[in-house]
Structure formats: C-alpha cells, structure tokens
Amino acid sequence: MEWFTEVIVPILLSLIPAIGMLIGTLAGVRVQLKINENKAQQQREQIEKARIERDEARQKRQEEVLRCLLRTELLNMYFKHIERGEKHLTQWESENMHKMYTSYVELDGNTFVKDLYDRMNSWEVVKN
C-alpha cells in the first residue's frame, strides 16, 4: 500500500490538472467548432440568397425580352397586312396571333398590344 501512496498518488495528482486542461481544451474546441459551423451555415445561406436574387433578376429580364419579342411579332404581322391593304389573316396567322397574345398577357403585357389584337381579331380569317 505504501507503494501506491508513494508512486501512484503523486502521478495521479500531477495528471489531474493536465486532464482538467485537456477537458477545458476539448470544450473550447467544441465551442469553436460550433461557431465555425454556424458561420459556414450563414455563408451558405448568403450564397443561396444571392443566387436566388440573381436568378429572379435574370427571369425578369427574360420575361421583358419575351414581351418585347411578342409585341414586335404582333406589330410586324399587323403592319404587313396593313401595308398590303389586307384586313384578313390565314388560319395559321390567326392561331399564332392568339397564342402570342395569350403569352403576352400572361407576361403582364400592356394594353397597347390588346388594342392591336382587338383590331386584328376583327379581321376575316381565310383558309391557308
């Protein structure tokens, strides 16, 4: 028993502070890992938010381009017939006009094209 108190007890007494420091260090590492994990999550969320904003801006630009193209095509169709002195559409042109106008409205187009559409919609439709 004397051996235990002379050898083992001093070793244990010298290890206890080291074990305490190790436990404290591990707790600190855990806290730091949690902080780093939270920062990484925040960065991922910021990146995702920026991507969503970029995609929404791109979609708005694409919708504006589509509205412009639809409006241009409807204007071209209208003026082609007016320049020829015609007030009739082929079946294909009539179907195409309806599809373009419907798409234009779904893209929040304005009433200028509605007036143009109403004029052409009153024209006679002839077989191709």
- The residue extents of the domains of the chain are 14-126
* % of the chain with per-residue pLDDT over 90: 59
Which tokens is 23 given? 């436990």
Q: Please state, in angstroms and rounded to a whole number, the distance separating the CA atoms of residues 14 and 2.
A: 18
Residue with tokens 């009153």: 122
Residue 1 has pLDDT above 70, yes or no: no
Q: pTM for the complete prediction?
A: 0.65
Burial (CB count within 10 angstroms: exposed 0-12, middle 13-18, buried 19+), residue 117: buried
Residue 5 has pLDDT above 70, yes or no: no
- For the segment 83-97, what is each residue's pLDDT rounded down to a tens digit? 999 999 999 999 999
Give the pLDDT score at 16: 73
Which tokens is 43 given? 């960065």
Cβ pair 88, 126 in contact under 8 A: yes
